[in-house]
């Protein structure tokens, strides 16, 4: 007889997990993980770009860990997480040192190349905070369908880089917390003016770090709504 359990907190639903190593063009090895659906091909692939490593961001940051724990089973997604250069997490430490968002261009390229070489379908970049800067600065030239941005600060991204996305036709969706420390929804609408197809979703009551199950569920729901709308909204229970 199957058991119905609530999907929340640190639950880990069934998936195929593989520890991976990404190889950059400048000779670094980056530690990572690929999580896949257990018994079927993925519908789409999320390449996760983590928050600022000098402020505690890494591939195991809670929203990304929960995405890997839930979305292969709930939404038939492949989740590719990795530590950018010099970043350490419970999964290990990547070679190199923090590059101020500049040399990380090669990290983004290595992740996309890895997914492409495996033949993973429908690639999307998902950036969180610092990770949104990497997505916006370097993702437009990669074979991705678009970018999903969580708490974009727009500190490192130039108007010209935004405009390049605007000219690409690729989809960009930004989840902006009402109580963000860096960029709030009204301000985000102004800052993204150079990228006319950007979809700005203000999230009432949310903060930059998306702490709490309500915030996590909202983020994962919005991601799934973009990349596999047939699986939206995510169920709150799981039967095993």
The pTM of the full predicted model, rounded to 2 decimals, is: 0.98
3-state secondary structure of 68: helix
Q: What is the pLDDT of residue 150?
A: 98
Answer yes or no: is pLDDT of 3 > 90: no
Domains of the chain are 4-239 (3.40.50.1820)
5, 235 Cβ separation under 8 angstroms: no
Q: What is the mean pLDDT of the chain?
A: 97
Question: Among the listed ranges 4-13, 54-63, 85-94, which one has the minimum average pLDDT value?
Answer: 4-13
What does residue 17 show for φ and ψ, rounded to 5 degrees? -110, 135
Q: What is the pLDDT of residue 1?
A: 61
Quick one: pLDDT band at residue 29, thresholds 50, 70, 90? Answer: very high
What does residue 22 show for φ and ψ, rounded to 5 degrees? -95, 140
């Amino acid at each position: 007889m199957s058991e119905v359990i609530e999907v929340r907190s640190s639950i880990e639903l069934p998936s195929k997990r593989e520890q991976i190593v990404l190889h950059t063009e400048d000779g670094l090895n980056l530690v990572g993980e690929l999580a896949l659906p257990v018994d079927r091909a993925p519908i789409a692939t999320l390449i996760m770009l983590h928050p600022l490593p000098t402020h505690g961001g890494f591939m195991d940051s809670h929203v990304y860990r929960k995405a890997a724990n839930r979305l292969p089973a709930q939404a038939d997604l492949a989740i590719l997480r990795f530590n950018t250069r010099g970043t350490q997490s419970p999964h290990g430490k990547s070679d190199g040192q923090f590059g101020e968002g500049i040399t990380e261009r090669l990290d983004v390229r290595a992740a996309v190349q890895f997914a492409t070489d495996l033949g993973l379908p429908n690639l999307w970049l998902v950036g969180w905070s610092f990770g949104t800067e990497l997505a916006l600065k370097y993702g437009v030239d990669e074979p991705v369908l678009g970018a999903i941005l969580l708490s974009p600060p727009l500190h490192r991204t130039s108007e010209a880089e935004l405009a390049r996305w605007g000219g690409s036709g690729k989809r960009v969706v930004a989840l902006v917390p009402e109580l963000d420390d860096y960029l709030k929804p009204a301000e985000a609408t102004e800052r993204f003016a150079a990228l006319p197809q950007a979809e700005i979703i203000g999230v009432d009551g949310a903060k930059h770090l998306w702490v709490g199950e309500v915030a996590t569920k909202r983020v994962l729901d919005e991601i799934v709504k973009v990349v596999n709308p047939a699986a939206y909204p995510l169920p709150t229970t799981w039967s095993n």
